[in-house]
Amino acid sequence: MARRRPHGGIATRGGNRFAHRPANRRSFFHRAEAMLRRDRAVGQPFCLLALDLDYFKAINDSAGHAAGDAVLRAAAERLVAQLRAQDLPGRIGGEEFAVALPGTDLAEGARVAERLRAVLSTVPLPPAVGRARLSASLGIASAGPQDQNLEDLLRRADAALYAAKRGGRDQAQEAV
């Protein structure tokens, strides 16, 4: 059995199917929606992070798709390593990820987002890219009465992510 630490990663991830890679889009939405319903039923908080790797197209354009794929794999591995066994990371688009954080309030979700942003900056980039480090923009949303389902929550997390991009990228923003 895994030793769990509050959003500080996990010593071993045991039987977690997503121990080394994020879920695909379909699996993520199915499982995250169930997590959201479960947490609501028992009165627990629930946070959702939307994450986008900044300027990722430039990596593919300057270093090639194989290099871009290697950067994506390294980013996904670092992302997953920072999460608890009960958290659910998912790759929902090309360089877009989402993370379901059951039992997590907005303040703790913001701490997780900042830790993920910092760890992603350690992903090495190919020299052809012309910049030293990877960066990510994140949006954080905590489930509230206005969210009828996961799609509503993701819409708010996405809006916060785009606010982070408009604000200069390489940062996390909370949804309003």
| Helix (H/G/I), strand (E/B), else coil: 64 | coil
Distance CA 92, CA 157 (A): 13
Q: Pick the catalytic residue from 95, 96, 114, 174.
A: 95
β-bridge pairing 46-53 and 96-102: antiparallel
95 is catalytic: yes
Rounded to the nearest angstrom, the gap between the alpha carbon of residue 94 and the centroid of all alpha carbons in its chain is: 13
Instruction: State how far the Cα of 130 lies from the Cα of 128, in Å rounded to an integer.
Output: 5
The catalytic residues are: 95
